[in-house]
Structures are given as C-alpha cells and as structure tokens.
Amino acid sequence: DVEFVHTAQSIISDYVQSIYPTVKRLNYVSDGAPQHFKNIKSILNLTYHQVDFGIPASWSFSATAHGKGAVDGIGAAVKYWTTRRVLSGTTSDAILTPEDLYKFTQSDSLMNVFYMDQKRIKNHCEKYQLLNRWNRDSPEGWINQIRSQHQFDPVGIKKGQMYTHLNITNYTNRFLN
C-alpha cells in the first residue's frame, strides 16, 4: 500500500545518501501496479520527496505484472535460497516469521534487505502526516491517463511532468485545486 511505499522510500533515500553522499537525484523503477505505486497518492508523495527526504526523485514505470524486472529476479533468488535452507535444514532452521526471513537474508553480504513492521510504518505515516497530506492536497479525480504514463518527474509540490514514450504532459494544473 502507499504507506508501505513511502516508508520504504524513506529507508532507501537514507541508505543511498549515506553510501553515496554526492547523489543529486533518485529514480525509482518499478512496475505500474496501481495499488502500490502508480496512483495519485504515490505521485503526490513523489512531489514532496525532496521536502520529506532531502533529495529529489523521479519514478519510471515498466509494464505491470510481467515478473521480468531486476526486482523480480532478486525476489526469486531470495525465495530460492530460503527454500533451500528450509528443505535442507533441521526444524531449528525453519523460517516461521518475517523477522526470521529478515535475519536469514542478513547472512548474504551482496544484498541489502531492510525490515519494516506495521508499527514502524504507522509511526512513519504519523511523522509525515500522510493522511492529512492526502486529504488536503489530493485533487478530485485522477491524473489524466495515469496508466499510460511511464515516467513522472516532479518540478515542485503538486507539480510535475509525466511522459509516455515520446509525449511530455505537464500535470501541474491537474494537481492544483
């Protein structure tokens, strides 16, 4: 959901800025699943990214639900390693909780995995007053043709440009009430 995504963006932003302090902009790449990523609340949050996390960001969307992206490959690798451990281990090697899975992934130094529980997400949403933001700033309706857009680049709070393959559409007026 959108609360999870904003919390994850906070963690990602902090991590990237701590490892690469000269980075000037983040670009998120994901599929276009509307329940998680490609929706008005997530795009509104994207326009607040610099205010919230101290660094501007854009968002590129690939085709939805094809399971062929880099993230899908990482997820498949984690599932494979986890299954091998569970099947080849003893009952003490069982992974029974999300925390167990997180601890297991920490043994792989090539992958950075972060853990968020419901309490952390709730505290994060309260800190950034996301419900107030969405109630106050969300426009009526929808971003015109959001599903056909592949790139969102904020140029200010509630302002930005969105792109299809060759078209650039300004969504500034769409966000302003």
Helices (H) and strands (E) in the chain, counts: 8, 5
DSSP-derived pairing of the beta strands 57-62 and 26-31: parallel
- Confidence bin at 124 (pLDDT 50/70/90): very high
* Amino acid sitting at position 37: F
Q: Where are the beta strands (DSSP E) in 45-167?
A: 57-62, 151-156, 159-163
Cα within 13 Å of Cα(32), Cβ side? 14
Burial of 139 (0-12, 13-18, 19+ CB in 10 A): middle
Would you state the pLDDT for residue 169? Answer: 58
Would you state the pLDDT for residue 168? Answer: 56
Question: Does residue 170 carry a pLDDT above 50?
Answer: yes
- Confidence bin at 53 (pLDDT 50/70/90): very high
Would you state the pLDDT for residue 176? Answer: 38
Spatial CB neighbours of 43, under 8 Å, sequence gap ≥ 6: 59, 143, 146, 152, 160
Where exactly are the structural domains of the chain?
2-66+117-175, 70-105
Would you state the pLDDT for residue 147? Answer: 74
pLDDT above 70 coverage of the chain, percent: 82
Please calculate the CA angle 162-31-159 and round it to the nearest 5 degrees.
25
- Residue from 164, 161, 156 nearest 137 by CA: 156
Q: What average pLDDT does this structure show over 37-47? A: 87
Question: Does residue 141 carry a pLDDT above 90?
Answer: no
For the stretch 100-121, pLDDT in tens is: 999 998 987 688 899 999 999 9
* Amino acid sitting at position 140: E
Q: Can you read off the two tokens belonging to residue 58?
A: 């854009």
The whole-angstrom separation of Cα 51 and Cα 32 is 24
For the stretch 58-97, pLDDT in tens is: 998 876 655 666 667 788 888 898 888 888 878 887 889 9
Looking at beta carbons, which pairs linking 104-110 to residues 24 or more positions away fall under 8 Å?
105/78, 108/81
* Amino acid sitting at position 135: N
Range with the largest mean pLDDT of 1-5, 54-58, 103-107: 54-58
* Amino acid sitting at position 68: K
Residue written as token pair 């085709």: 63
- Confidence bin at 123 (pLDDT 50/70/90): very high
Would you state the pLDDT for residue 173? Answer: 44
Q: Can you read off the two tokens belonging to residue 28?
A: 């998120």
Would you state the pLDDT for residue 177? Answer: 37
- Residue from 148, 150, 157 nearest 175 by CA: 157
